[in-house]
Amino acid sequence: MARPRTVDRQRLLDAAAVVIAREGPHFTLAGVAAEAGVSVGSVAGRFRSKHGLLVALSEAATARTATVLREAAEAAPTPREAVREALVALYAGLGNAETAANHLAQLGVDLVDATLRDRLGRHYAAVEDVLCELLTAREGNAWAGPPPRQAVRVLLAVANGAAIDWSVRPRGELGTRLREDIDLITKGWWGT
């Protein structure tokens, strides 16, 4: 008797991310299965439902976020650039304006579901914690900005707003827009 083939969980989550970027909240388990090259039963068996898949996708994104932010920050030569590049890395997955709009549409669906909204809150809390850690570790004696926790909230509010505005009215690249906006805000936060 042939041994049943197991489907890699990460492969299914990666496929779900691709399909959500392409289709937004109208995505189906069948679309995810097709993208992953597996049967619908494999996806349903692993996550039970579209909701279960979204919960798993949210949890995986939160788990991966700290690494993404820290790696982007480590590659930057100055504290200011480290914080900026971490924020740019956070939004890099939005892709182009069309896929960004699909991600934002899915966000709207997530907000009306209590479980998904809770996971989203955990995600944003993790992002805030890592950014605050990066800011505190790199602020040094020349820090002239607001208290770090408040600074992070301001930076995230600007980055979130820029991402939404850019997905509706795309002009240039999102990364460029984020860098310009963040640089403008943080201009006086570090001394010379």
- The two tokens of residue 53 are 């898949």
What CATH class does 1-48 carry?
mainly alpha
- pTM of the complete model: 0.88
Helices and strands (DSSP H and E) totals, the chain: 9, 0
Predicted pLDDT at 3: 43
45 exposure class (CB count in 10 Å sphere: 0-12, 13-18, 19+): exposed
Residue numbers of the chain with a pLDDT score lower than 70: 1-5, 138-141, 192
Q: Where do the structural domains in the chain lie, given as residue ranges?
A: 1-48, 58-186
**Residue 169, Cα to own-chain centre: how many angstroms?**
20
Question: Which DSSP state fits 24?
Answer: G
CA distance linking residue 112 with residue 6, whole number of Å: 33
Predicted pLDDT at 89: 97
Return the C-alpha torsion angle 172, 173, 179, 185, nearest 10: 50
Predicted pLDDT at 142: 78
Specify which residues 137 forms β-bridges with. none
CATH architecture of 58-186: Orthogonal Bundle (1.10)
Predicted pLDDT at 140: 61
Predicted pLDDT at 5: 60
CA distance linking residue 40 with residue 13, whole number of Å: 14
